[in-house]
Chain A
Amino acid sequence: NAGVTQTPKFQVLKTGQSMTLQCAQDMNHNSMYWYRQDPGMGLRLIYYSASEGTTDKGEVPNGYNVSRLNKREFSLRLESAAPSQTSVYFCASSGFPGQGNKGTINEQFFGPGTRLTVL
């Protein structure tokens, strides 16, 4: 199992450009998350999806949109990138134990991250 995968690993954008960060998990998890991590800081939740077909705002949603394409995939879109969005973006997933799900309750599994620089 690959766990949680993210693409791309690195990206440089100019102010005003748009892009979509892709995330997929193969652990049969219902919930998926997008976080950003700025230098020396913890993770801040941008958006999450408790289950397929639902999405909700987290702590810092402004400037972002998300799509839960299916149970496996959860994408994050920056419509008009700004330098303040320079950060490392992590996707994560979690599920309830049993039912073929990996992990304990509320345990989140993270992807390797996307390092985004907006000039």
Chain B
Amino acid sequence: RKEVEQDPGPFNVPEGATVAFNCTYSNSASQSFFWYRQDCRKEPKLLMSVYSSGNEDGRFTAQLNRASQYISLLIRDSKLSDSATYLCVVNRGTNAGKSTFGDGTTLTVKP
């Protein structure tokens, strides 16, 4: 079993739709969680950190469920510009080298 698993996708949605991605992790000692966005053939960039209390940034909402060991990303009112691959990242500690990336979920938003 992979340490970090994501919905396989791809997700194809119309503009304005709401879409949700899930990510599960296997190490219960994991301490910090992130969603990164990666555009085609570009480097990953941090989209948002995921906090225990949940957090929201505009149309994006991230949730963490430690008991069930999953995190989620909700995108409301999808835009064409949201088309990208979304990577779930889990950190097992605060030290370097403790990050594990999921394989990513690809989202295509269509007009």
The yes or no answer to B32 lying at the interface (CB within 8 A) is yes
Stretch at the interface among B61-69, B71-79, B87-95: B87-95
**A residues 66-119 touching B (CB-CB < 8 Å):** 88, 90, 94, 103-108, 110-113
Neighbour of A104 across the interface among B43, B45, B49, B101, CB < 8 A: B49
Residues of B with C-beta under 8 A to A51:
96
The yes or no answer to B15 lying at the interface (CB within 8 A) is no
Neighbour of B43 across the interface among A48, A107, A113, CB < 8 A: A113
Judge whether B97 and A56 touch: CB under 8 Å.
yes
Residues on A lying within 8 angstroms of B by beta carbon are: 30-31, 33, 35, 40-45, 48-51, 56, 58, 88, 90, 94, 103-108, 110-113
Report A59 CB to chain B, min CB distance, Å. Answer: 8
> Which label, helix, strand, loop or mixed, suits the secondary structure of the A interface?
loop
Judge whether A50 and B87 touch: CB under 8 Å.
no
Residues of A with C-beta under 8 A to B42:
112-113
Judge whether A111 and B43 touch: CB under 8 Å.
yes
Judge whether B44 and A110 touch: CB under 8 Å.
yes
Q: State whether A106 and B91 are in contact (beta carbons under 8 Å apart), knowing that A42-B104, A90-B44 are contacts in the complex.
A: yes
Judge whether A42 and B97 touch: CB under 8 Å.
no
A107→B32 CA distance, assembly (Å): 10
Judge whether A42 and B43 touch: CB under 8 Å.
no
Judge whether B43 and A110 touch: CB under 8 Å.
yes
